[in-house]
Amino acid sequence: MRIDKFLKVSRLAKRRAEAHEALVNGRITRAGRALKPGYEVKAGDELVLHYARKVLTVRVLLVPERVTPALRDIPLYEILAERREEPADWLDAALPEL
């Protein structure tokens, strides 16, 4: 399954277009490398998702072959780490020292 579709099905992204945009802009990585929307996600993949104010690291547990309503009760991923980022944190990192 394509990663943009997986993110939608697993509810890590609200819409597939939103997932696609995040992938195109390099906000979703695996092993330190940005992924493309056509990446075929596999069970065991560890993904890092950069949201507006938090960074989420997840491990893919299951990749469904078909999308069905029964998937709502099945965990497709597990959260490995989560950290919040305040705007001041990334602003300070982006500014050069004088």
| Whole-model pTM over 0.85 | no
Question: Per-domain residue ranges for the chain?
Answer: 3-94
Architecture of domain 3-94 in CATH?
A: Roll (3.10)
Q: What is the pLDDT along the chain (98 residues), one digit of tens a residue?
A: 999 999 999 999 999 999 999 999 999 999 999 999 999 999 999 999 998 889 999 999 999 887 777 767 788 999 999 988 766 655 555 556 55
* Phi and psi, residue 58, nearest 5°: -130, 155
